[in-house]
Structure 1
């Protein structure tokens, strides 16, 4: 698995992404990661920084899930936004239920808020604001996303490619 992590990170670096190796020792696992799938824990632990050239898209690292992070965006920022927007108790419960099953691993602010998350069954989902909980499965497993990145897609016609490999801020130019 480590080889796949390294290869995916290298492909992103070749596309201009900033990569910094993991600095975390084997400290305790942040509480946000306690119930995360094992592959997701290993992925977010394999780097300390992995962000697009325009810094509008980034993978969350293990350190981002700790309470001491200095990031402008909390790892659960989108959940917090949804909770604040919930108009009823039922909506608040639905938001909480959704995010208990989904761990954000990538955040994007290029043209509105977007994310990739690993669901508790290992599937990778994509969601956008303002209805973050209306997510769709984009890869059956995190490994499939990493293999997709590692394949250096030439056509870049998958919308995930737009997130990862397109650093322009004009959405009309993405097609």
Structure 2
């Protein structure tokens, strides 16, 4: 699995992402990660920073899930925004119920707020504002996301490409240009 992590971060770095190694010592697993799959815990522990060149898209690191982590955005920023937007107790309960089953692993502010999260069954979902909880499955398993990054497909029309590889700057080859 370590090789999969290394090659995925290498591919992101080739695409202009910044990676900083994890701290040499790490505290215990933050409570936010207690129910996360072991692979996800190992992934978020494999770097201290992993962000796009414009710093508008980033994978959350183990440190980000700590309650005392500093930063402009909390690891559960989307949940917090949805709770604030809830107009009834029932809506707030539904939001909380959704986020108990979903762990954000990537946040983006490039084209508005959006995220990738790992659902409690291991699937990776994508959601956007304003209805963060209307998420769509993009990969059946977290490892599939990493394999996709490693594959760096020539045709980039997947929602993940826009997040990770800034598809807006990729020339459109489907029109014969």
Same fold (TM over 0.5): yes
Query: 3-state SS of the aligned residue for 2:50?
Result: strand
Structure 1 residue 84 corresponds to structure 2 residue 98: no
Query: 3-state SS of the aligned residue for 1:64?
Result: helix
Which residue is equivalent to 1:59? 59
Alpha-carbon distance in structure 1 between the residues aligned to 2:157 and 2:167: 15
Which residue is equivalent to 2:116? 116
Unmatched 5+ stretches in structure 2: none
Q: Judge conservation of contact 1:24–1:63 (CA < 8 Å) in 2.
A: no
Which residue is equivalent to 1:6? 6
Alpha-carbon distance in structure 1 between the residues aligned to 2:65 and 2:26: 14
Unmatched 5+ stretches in structure 1: none
* TM-score, normalising length: structure 2: 0.93
Alpha-carbon distance in structure 2 between the residues aligned to 1:95 and 1:122: 19
Alpha-carbon distance in structure 2 between the residues aligned to 1:70 and 1:54: 20
Structure 1 residue 98 corresponds to structure 2 residue 98: yes
Structure 1 residue 39 corresponds to structure 2 residue 45: no
Alpha-carbon distance in structure 2 between the residues aligned to 1:24 and 1:132: 35
**Structure 1 residue runs of 4+, over 6 Å off?**
none
- Tell me the CA shift for residue 153 of structure 1: 1.7
Q: Judge conservation of contact 1:8–1:149 (CA < 8 Å) in 2.
A: yes
- Tell me the CA shift for residue 114 of structure 1: 0.5
Q: Judge conservation of contact 1:37–1:121 (CA < 8 Å) in 2.
A: no
Aligned positions, number? 171
Which residue is equivalent to 1:147? 147
Query: 3-state SS of the aligned residue for 2:6?
Result: helix
Which structure ranks higher in relative contact order (CA pairs < 8 Å, sequence separation ≥ 6)? Answer: 1
- Tell me the CA shift for residue 26 of structure 1: 3.9
C-alpha RMSD over aligned residues: 1.5
Query: 3-state SS of the aligned residue for 2:97?
Result: helix
Q: State how 1:15-34 maps to structure 2 within 5 Å.
A: 15-23=15-23, 25-34=25-34
- Tell me the CA shift for residue 104 of structure 1: 0.2
- Tell me the CA shift for residue 155 of structure 1: 1.3
Q: Judge conservation of contact 1:52–1:167 (CA < 8 Å) in 2.
A: no
* TM-score, normalising length: structure 1: 0.94
Structure 1 residue 75 corresponds to structure 2 residue 75: yes
Query: 3-state SS of the aligned residue for 1:83?
Result: helix
